[in-house]
Chains A and B, each alone.
Chain A
């Protein structure tokens, strides 16, 4: 875990850092953070436990333990990353380890929205480009600079057109990705909806 962790806040326009490649399809959130670590009432101590079981099995050879990957902040993954449980503990653990952005072939839906909600932009690239990065990154340091304004990722030798949902990109650029206050701006519309929904007329106040 990074010491002095601070959660992102406000506009996110640029992310630069070392890439860490994790190879594998369908890496689920139970693997990212095994269920026993969900026994907590805050997210603070999760960074150390990210991929705990996979790392123990690989005995120091897991990408998250390799010396070359120390201090990395951009995670490169394959397809359907983050499938399974809705636990936000998974992106929270990755973030507390030091991950600030993720680039993959594809993401599971709840994982993706959890990442966006806590300020980790997730980008997609075609299979071939991911493979290229992962090969380039194999035991070597690979720096990438991501610009959210034009969704371009640049390294010393390569350039990528990254894909990101427009709604997510706009939220990061405007700094309004922390949704609660945006939602509450429509408070009167919420109240109207509450008063209009047919079923709330016949099912409110159960207890």
Chain B
């Protein structure tokens, strides 16, 4: 059983009680909500005649269903309009702060909370969205919950949960040039598999992790859930504190000093005990691309799609399903796979640094005529900053469509969808069957830089050939 890790400390700090069944009652310091998983929770509160216990510990935005082309109200999609109206009403009736479209702070919930300074070390953070693990990048313990638990948090600011085990993933050395946080996390998931994390929190640590910016750390923690871990985190350090300082909701003046002192004390002890430790060499990671229907089915750009007998017996069943669905042959090279659609965005890779990296690759280049390419900034703030830096112009000049902020084609709840069995190069997080809106659509996950390279060549390419020239 783990001992004195950051996870243990934050868990113990937030433990309200041991429940009769054996699980713990955990206080949730920050609750984030959006339009998809909250309406039924508010409905349940009304049915039970309960109030929101601490309305100022919940913050809302709208992201999943928002159109990224025409955002004028009412939305053209009646169902989407109904969902945003329901959220507006629930927030106003319950006095919950809502960052609506046009507020300057709307966007993907996991992009918005960190950039507002809401996400801070040592907190517990919950949201009805599996990618809540993103916030662990700040040394918070953050996890996705279902709608019934959203109801519980609204009503009691707590949830019932069994304590997780802790696995440290120690990343030696440094990522090479042209290899990004996305490649590292895809590599980790490939090595450990999509279910190794069930029952665990992942602590990402080591020199390769310390060297990452906050936005890169968010990319890593974001995809913990793709490895089965409900929660992933990184011990906070100077990079963390520097990122938070001066943000809208960051502690100010004397409170900043108090906060900083507390945050500096928050980390896994040197002699802390983990349930498991994995070590890997980040300098060996290549630009990584998925070829299958789970995020663990990936290869380095210069590798071939594995043969069935090269895989662990437990992975063969899903591999066969993947070959068939993707229309790929085992042993085929992933490089040069033709691409139909390029998507840059999502809570994994829709932040300003992601847009900068992609724009750098795209500058003075043109998107292949066979490719439909679009970029969806993660938030209104990201969009504003990108425009200030002229990134929107670089994208548009290259042939990318510049869109309004939202989740968009990561899960295709708006009108951005693949058609038929189109193949997308996508900076998002899931390559599940049908994920991007077409029941036969195919998704290749990769870093934003790799999506940009694929857009230019019209096929899967090694971005290092662009940036090392």
**A129 contacts B by Cβ under 8 Å:** no
**A145 contacts B by Cβ under 8 Å:** no
**A56-B439, A84-B430, A110-B230 in contact; A199/B162 too (CB < 8 A)?**
no
Contact in complex: B146, A117 (CB < 8 Å): yes
Type the 1/0 row for B21-37, where 1 means its CB is closer than 8 Å to any CB of A.
11101010100000011
Q: Could you tell me the distance in whole angstroms from the C-beta of A96 to the nearest C-beta in chain B?
A: 13
**B198 contacts A by Cβ under 8 Å:** yes
Q: Could you tell me the distance in whole angstroms from the C-beta of A198 to the nearest C-beta in chain B?
A: 5
Q: Could you tell me the distance in whole angstroms from the C-beta of B153 to the nearest C-beta in chain A?
A: 9
**A30-B434, A109-B198, A186-B16 in contact; A87/B43 too (CB < 8 A)?**
no
Provide the bound-state CA to CA distance between A153 and B156, in Å.
Answer: 36
**A65 contacts B by Cβ under 8 Å:** no
Contact in complex: A183, B318 (CB < 8 Å): no
**B194 contacts A by Cβ under 8 Å:** yes
Enumerate chain B residues within 8 angstroms of A86, measured Cβ to Cβ: 37, 128-130, 132, 144-146
Provide the bound-state CA to CA distance between A110 and B48, in Å.
Answer: 24
**A158 contacts B by Cβ under 8 Å:** no
Provide the bound-state CA to CA distance between A203 and B130, in Å.
Answer: 25
**A165 contacts B by Cβ under 8 Å:** yes
Contact in complex: B13, A87 (CB < 8 Å): no
Contact in complex: B152, A113 (CB < 8 Å): no
Contact in complex: A41, B86 (CB < 8 Å): yes
Among A25, A80, A171, A197, contact of B228 (Cβ-Cβ < 8 Å): A80
Contact in complex: B120, A41 (CB < 8 Å): no
Enumerate chain A residues within 8 angstroms of B294, measured Cβ to Cβ: 26, 28, 83
Type the 1/0 row for B1-43, where 1 means its CB is closer than 8 Å to any CB of A.
0000000000001101101111101010100000011011001
Contact in complex: B21, A39 (CB < 8 Å): no
Contact in complex: A197, B13 (CB < 8 Å): yes
Provide the bound-state CA to CA distance between A179 and B440, in Å.
Answer: 39
Binding stretch for chain B, among A14-22, A68-76, A136-144, A187-195:
A187-195
**A166-B22, A199-B262 in contact; A39/B80 too (CB < 8 A)?**
yes
Enumerate chain A residues within 8 angstroms of B77, measured Cβ to Cβ: 39
**B83 contacts A by Cβ under 8 Å:** yes
Contact in complex: A183, B158 (CB < 8 Å): yes
Contact in complex: A79, B27 (CB < 8 Å): no
**A132 contacts B by Cβ under 8 Å:** no
Type the 1/0 row for A167-205, where 1 means its CB is closer than 8 Å to any CB of B.
110110010100110111011011001100111111111
| Chain B CB within 10 A, most for which of A41, A171, A190, A193 | A41
Among A25, A171, A190, contact of B156 (Cβ-Cβ < 8 Å): A190
Contact in complex: A207, B22 (CB < 8 Å): no
**B373 contacts A by Cβ under 8 Å:** no
Interface residues of A in 14-49 (CB under 8 A from B): 24-26, 28, 30-31, 34-36, 38-43
Q: Could you tell me the distance in whole angstroms from the C-beta of B295 to the nearest C-beta in chain A?
A: 9
**A166-B22, A205-B56 in contact; A183/B152 too (CB < 8 A)?**
yes
**A134 contacts B by Cβ under 8 Å:** no
Contact in complex: A176, B79 (CB < 8 Å): no
Enumerate chain B residues within 8 angstroms of A168, measured Cβ to Cβ: 21
Q: Could you tell me the distance in whole angstroms from the C-beta of A195 to the nearest C-beta in chain B?
A: 11
**B251 — nearest CB in chain A belongs to which residue?**
A202
Contact in complex: A35, B13 (CB < 8 Å): no
Q: Could you tell me the distance in whole angstroms from the C-beta of A39 to the nearest C-beta in chain B?
A: 4
**A167-B19, A176-B21, A197-B14 in contact; A88/B148 too (CB < 8 A)?**
yes
Q: Could you tell me the distance in whole angstroms from the C-beta of B47 to the nearest C-beta in chain A?
A: 11
Contact in complex: B411, A183 (CB < 8 Å): no
Enumerate chain B residues within 8 angstroms of A200, measured Cβ to Cβ: 29
Contact in complex: A194, B157 (CB < 8 Å): yes
Contact in complex: B228, A30 (CB < 8 Å): no
Q: How many residues of A contact B (CB 8 A)?
A: 69
Type the 1/0 row for B144-178, where 1 means its CB is closer than 8 Å to any CB of A.
11111101100111111110000000000000000
Provide the bound-state CA to CA distance between A173 and B23, in Å.
Answer: 15
Provide the bound-state CA to CA distance between A201 and B147, in Å.
Answer: 29
Provide the bound-state CA to CA distance between A83 and B225, in Å.
Answer: 9
Contact in complex: A26, B16 (CB < 8 Å): no
Provide the bound-state CA to CA distance between A184 and B157, in Å.
Answer: 9
Provide the bound-state CA to CA distance between A25 and B80, in Å.
Answer: 32
Provide the bound-state CA to CA distance between A39 and B412, in Å.
Answer: 11
Provide the bound-state CA to CA distance between A183 and B20, in Å.
Answer: 11
Among B25, B130, B293, B321, contact of A186 (Cβ-Cβ < 8 Å): B25
Contact in complex: A183, B149 (CB < 8 Å): no
| Chain B CB within 10 A, most for which of A25, A53, A168, A200 | A25
Contact in complex: A39, B160 (CB < 8 Å): no
Contact in complex: A53, B433 (CB < 8 Å): yes
**A150 contacts B by Cβ under 8 Å:** no
**A30-B411, A83-B228, A180-B156 in contact; A202/B258 too (CB < 8 A)?**
yes
Provide the bound-state CA to CA distance between A87 and B413, in Å.
Answer: 13
Provide the bound-state CA to CA distance between A146 and B148, in Å.
Answer: 25
**B122 contacts A by Cβ under 8 Å:** yes
Provide the bound-state CA to CA distance between A170 and B155, in Å.
Answer: 23
**B432 contacts A by Cβ under 8 Å:** yes
**A196 — nearest CB in chain B belongs to which residue?**
B13
Contact in complex: A109, B230 (CB < 8 Å): yes
**B285 contacts A by Cβ under 8 Å:** no
Enumerate chain B residues within 8 angstroms of A179, measured Cβ to Cβ: 148-149, 152, 159-160
Interface residues in chain B, defined as those with a beta carbon under 8 Å from any beta carbon in chain A = 13-14, 16-17, 19-23, 25, 27, 29, 36-37, 39-40, 43-44, 48, 50, 53-54, 56, 59, 64-65, 77, 79-80, 82-83, 86, 97, 118, 120, 122-123, 128-130, 132, 143-149, 151-152, 155-162, 194-195, 198-199, 225, 228, 230, 248-249, 251, 255-256, 258-259, 262, 293-294, 314, 317-318, 321, 411-413, 430, 432-435, 437, 439-440
Not counting A25-B318, A109-B199, A207-B56, a sample of 18 additional A-B residue pairs whose C-beta atoms are within 8 angstroms of each other reads A26-B318, A42-B40, A80-B228, A86-B144, A86-B146, A106-B195, A108-B228, A110-B130, A114-B148, A170-B21, A170-B22, A174-B20, A180-B48, A190-B158, A198-B262, A202-B259, A204-B56, A206-B56
A–B Cβ pairs within 8 angstroms, 5 of them:
A80-B195, A113-B146, A167-B19, A190-B27, A199-B123
